[in-house]
Amino acid sequence: DIVMTQTPLSLSVTPGQPASISCKSSQSLLHSDGKTYLYWFVQKPGQSPQLLIYELFRRFSGVPDRFSGSGSRTDFTLKISRVEPEDVGIYYCMHGMHVPRTFGQGTKVEI
Amino acid sequence: QVHLQESGPGLAKPSQTLSVTCAVSGVSISGSENYWSWIRQPPGKGLEYIGYISHTGYTDYNPSLRSRVAISADTSNNQFSLMLTSVTATDTAVYYCVRDRGWGFFDFWGQGILVTVSS
């Protein structure tokens, strides 16, 4: 299985300030088709996880542009340019290269 | 709009079989290239991928659960189901049904159902 490792595991942020979460995979997530199958999800309190970023950097429908994904092969970053109060939750990275998909441990973002 | 809704007993006894069903609306589970998946989350913990059934009925499972899990589809009712045998307390979790558009593109999630394994 591909191991996904996130840092930090918790993050306290001030509204309006930037935030960054790192994710590393034990294998390259760059597929021969040129796409990188790395995803970011957020689980807000009491809710199901929801998709933020797919294929490394593409924002899912309705996701604000303050969220951005970057990286390559095994090292990835989710950035929030200016944190809003509604961004509190647990953020997970995940690979989609094969079954089983595996998730990072999660990063809890608090205001 | 695609909508997924889990249902089933919220309690399972140790050594017995856990069963959860996901009703899908807004799209046919057999009509397009989607992978109907199950993911679980033990209370206070992270996410674990269980497996999927494709629009053609092909299944694939997490090797860690493969010996105990089966995912099936009921196309006439547009729903799919999860069965997990020989459950223990470590199988206590919120079970989510999710649409995977391929390569892990989990775009629609159900609200989740808590299944507790206890005698």
Smallest Cα distance from A35 to chain B, Å: 10
Q: Which residues in chain B have their CB less than 8 angstroms from residue A41's CB? A: 106
Rounded mean pLDDT of chain A? 97
Q: Which residues pair with B19 in a beta bridge?
A: B83
Residue B59 near residue B36, CB atoms below 8 Å: no
pLDDT score of B42 more than 90: yes
A79-82: long-range contacts at Cβ-Cβ below 8 A with a sequence spacing of 24 or more? A79/A18, A79/A19, A79/A20, A79/A21, A80/A13, A80/A18, A80/A19, A80/A20, A81/A18, A82/A15, A82/A16, A82/A17, A82/A18
3-state DSSP assignment of residue B94: strand
Rounded mean pLDDT of chain B? 96
Once rounded to an integer, what is the mean pLDDT over residues A5-10?
Answer: 97
Residue A65, by phi and psi: left (phi above 0), alpha (psi -120 to 50) or beta?
alpha
Q: Which pLDDT belongs to residue A36?
A: 97
Contact A60 B46 (CB under 8 A): no
Q: Which pLDDT belongs to residue B32?
A: 75
Tell me the percentage of chain B whose pLDDT exceeds 90.
97
By C-alpha distance, the chain A residue nearest B4 is A48
CA–CA gap between residue A58 and residue B105 (Å, rounded): 11
Q: Would an 8 Å CB–CB cutoff place A16 in contact with chain B? A: no
Q: Which pLDDT belongs to residue B72?
A: 97
Q: What are phi and psi of B89, to 5 degrees?
A: -60, -25
Once rounded to an integer, what is the mean pLDDT over residues B30-37?
Answer: 89
Once rounded to an integer, what is the mean pLDDT over residues B37-55?
Answer: 97
User: Structure tokens of B34?
Assistant: 């989607």
pLDDT score of B31 more than 90: no
Q: Would an 8 Å CB–CB cutoff place A30 in contact with chain B? A: no
What is the per-residue pLDDT across A30-56, written as a single tens digit (0 to 9) for each?
Answer: 999 999 999 999 999 999 999 999 999
Contact B105 A54 (CB under 8 A): yes
Cα A77–chain centre separation: 7
Contact B48 A103 (CB under 8 A): yes
What is the per-residue pLDDT across B56-114, written as a single tens digit (0 to 9) for each?
Answer: 999 999 999 999 999 999 999 999 999 999 999 999 999 999 999 999 999 999 999 99
Q: Which residues in chain A have their CB less than 8 angstroms from residue B48's CB? A: 103
